[in-house]
Structures are given as structure tokens and as C-alpha cells.
Chain A
Amino acid sequence: SQTIHQWPATLVQPVGSPLSLECTVEGTSNPNLYWYRQAAGRGLQLLFYSVGIGQISSEVPQNLSASRPQDRQFILSSKKLLLSDSGFYLCASSREGGTEAFFGQGTRLTVV
């Protein structure tokens, strides 16, 4: 089965600072990878998904970007954080072809 490693678990960053969140996947190859954001008490908002190395699709225009430099590595970045970027960020993976998704532990980001 897949294991998704996501770090850090919590992060407090000042407004205007850069961001880099990393996600790595074990137990499968060529997975579909996802970044979601969840505001407090809200549903999952899909930010980015990737079906292969270097292939990134953005769902919502925003202050964030994503990259997939390796098959099982997915990175979420920002050059300058905004207060509105605060939230719970989740990386997810599903097998090639798309079935159920498995989630990492999440990163709780607070921008101050």
C-alpha cells in the first residue's frame, strides 16, 4: 500500500516569506499526486494535481505553485506568503489511472 510522507507537521511563517512543502510517496510508481488546502471547518480545496513528472495542473489561481521534479516527489511553493495562505495543506496520492487517494499527515500553516 502507499505511504505518503509530508513535512513539516506545523509551520508558522511571516507574511512575505517563502514557502516550500514537500511530499514523497512510497509503495507505488507513477502516482497521481494532489495538493489540497482545507480552511478551518471547511471542505477540501484542490490546489494542484499531477499525473506525471513535470506535469502540473492548477485548479485555482493563487499565490502558490507546485512542481514534480521526480516521480514520487511533489512540492508546494510560494515566493511570498499572504495571510490568506493559512490553512491545513494535504498531499494525496492515487495509483496511476486514478482510484482511491491516500493522504499524508498534513501541514498546518499559519501565516502571521
Chain B
Amino acid sequence: QKEVEQNSGPLSVPEGAIASLNCTYSDRGSQSFFWYRQYSGKSPELIMSIYSNGDKEDGRFTAQLNKASQYVSLLIRDSQPSDSATYLCAVNMGQTGANNLFFGTGTRLTVIP
């Protein structure tokens, strides 16, 4: 059973703080990892991709990957009220020709002004 797990939250942080979102996955051979942001009533938007162990930074966002622990996280620095959304973790863990993209159920983040 291929699974991606996230805490559903809600996660509340004050404005300006660091928000930390976590995700674990079941397939040790997975190679591609993604974070999506979904505002209420809208479709998911890709915000980060990471493919190798370590950190990847893009503006206020940092994705962290640890394949040995099967763990991927997203840090949001200097959180803003506009960051309030549900964050979906997605993992590519399958072979070509089959469904290979698995999503977690998402973590709802609220940034308090």
C-alpha cells in the first residue's frame, strides 16, 4: 500500500513565525517530492519540488528531504496571513505507465495576524 501521510492540523502560527509542515511516505524508492498550496475553494498550486536529500530554498519556502527516514518537510519563514491555506504533500512513487503520484490529505495552516 503506497501512502503519503500528513498531520491534518489545523496548524496555527503567529504572523512572522516559522511554520513547519511534515510529510512521510511509504515507498523507499521514491524519487520526486512536491508541495502544493490550496486556498479554500481553489485548485492546488505547485509551490516546491525537491528530488535530492537536503534543503532546497525558494524565497520564504524551504523544502527538506530525508530519503533514509522517508520524510519531507516544508518550512515557511516569516509567515504571512496570505500563507493561510491547506498544504498538500505529493510523492512520485511508481513506474512509468501507471499512476505514480500520491497525495497526502493536507495540513491546514492558519497564520494569525
Contacts and interface: CB of A to CB of B under 8 A. Distances in A.
Interface of A: 34, 42-44, 46, 49, 51, 57, 59, 90, 94, 97-106, 108
A31 to B, nearest CB: 12
A100 B99 contact: no
Which 7 A-B pairs have CB atoms at the shortest separation, nearest pair first? A43-B105, A103-B43, A106-B43, A98-B100, A49-B99, A44-B103, A100-B34
Interface in B23-50: 32, 34, 41-46, 49
B94 A98 contact: yes
A105 B106 CA distance: 18
B32 A99 contact: yes
Interface of B: 32, 34, 41-46, 49, 88, 90, 92, 94, 96-101, 103-106
Contacts of B103: 43-44
A51 B97 contact: yes
Contact of B105 (A34, A42, A51, A99): A42
B65 to A, nearest CB: 14
Given A44-B44, A100-B101, 8 more contacts: A34-B99, A44-B103, A98-B94, A98-B96, A101-B46, A106-B42, A106-B43, A108-B41
A59 B99 CA distance: 9
Contact of A100 (B42, B49, B106): B49
Nearest to A46: B99
B26 to A, nearest CB: 16
A102 B103 CA distance: 13
